[in-house]
C-alpha cells in the first residue's frame, strides 16, 4: 500500500469561475490559472500521481501546452485514473481539505464528492472532502486565494505492479 500527498493554490480574481471538482460555485471571484484552475482536483491529481510515483500534474499536463488552456480538470483527473489502472494501481481512498475563507463550501461538498467519485469510478465512502477557513490570517484568510491539500492511498493490483 502506498500514500501520496498533493497541494495546490490558486489566486481568487475577478472575471473567472470558481470551480471545485467540476462544481461551479456562485461567487463574484474565481480561480486564476491556465486550466479551469480547479485547485481541489489539482491537489488530488498530485496525491494520486505521488502515491504511484508517476511524477506530478505539471509533467503530465504542462501549463505551457495550449491544449490544456481552459482545460476541465475533471477530464485530467479521469485521465490520471485511467493511467493508474493501466499501471496496476487501485485507489483505496482520498482525503482532501480545501482552505478558503469564503464562500462557504459546506453546502457544495455532497456534489463535490459525487463528481470525484464518478470520475474515478469510486464509492462515496472512498472520497472525503473537508473545508476550513484560515481564521482570517494571511492571504488565504484575506480571501485572496484558495488552497487545497489531499492524500491518496493506493494498492497495487495483484500480479500487475511488481514495483511495490
CB of 10 to Mg ion, least distance (A): 6
Of residues 8 and 101, the one with the C-beta less far from Mg ion: 8
CB of 33 to Mg ion, least distance (A): 6
Of residues 36 and 101, the one with the C-beta less far from Mg ion: 36
Which residues have C-beta within 8 Å of that of residue 12, sequence separation ≥ 6? 18, 29, 30, 31, 32, 143, 144, 145, 146
- Which residue is closest to Mg ion by CB? 42
Of residues 10 and 113, the one with the C-beta less far from Mg ion: 10
CB of 156 to Mg ion, least distance (A): 28
> Angle formed by the axes of helices 73-86 and 39-51, to 10°?
10
What is the side-by-side strand order in the sheet with 2-14? 29-31, 2-14, 145-156, 89-99, 127-132
Of residues 11 and 132, the one with the C-beta less far from Mg ion: 11
Query: Can you give the binding site for Mg ion, defined by CB under 5 A?
Result: 8, 42
Amino acid at each position: 500500500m502506498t500514500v501520496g500527498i498533493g497541494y495546490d493554490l490558486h489566486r481568487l480574481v475577478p472575471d473567472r469561475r470558481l470551480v471545485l471538482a467540476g462544481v461551479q460555485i456562485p461567487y463574484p471571484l474565481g480561480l486564476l490559472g491556465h486550466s479551469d484552475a480547479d485547485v481541489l482536483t489539482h491537489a488530488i491529481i498530485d496525491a494520486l500521481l505521488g502515491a504511484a510515483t508517476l511524477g506530478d500534474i505539471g509533467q503530465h499536463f504542462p501549463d505551457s501546452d495550449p491544449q490544456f488552456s481552459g482545460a476541465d480538470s475533471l477530464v485530467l483527473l479521469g485521465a490520471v485514473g485511467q493511467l493508474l489502472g493501466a499501471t496496476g494501481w487501485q485507489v483505496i481512498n482520498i482525503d482532501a481539505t480545501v482552505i478558503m475563507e469564503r464562500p462557504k463550501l459546506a453546502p457544495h461538498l455532497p456534489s463535490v464528492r459525487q463528481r470525484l467519485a464518478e470520475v474515478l469510478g469510486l464509492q462515496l465512502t472512498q472520497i472525503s472532502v473537508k473545508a476550513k477557513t484560515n481564521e482570517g490570517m494571511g492571504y488565504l484568510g484575506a480571501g485572496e486565494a484558495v488552497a487545497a491539500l489531499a492524500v491518496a492511498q493506493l494498492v497495487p493490483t495483484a500480479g500487475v505492479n511488481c514495483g511495490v
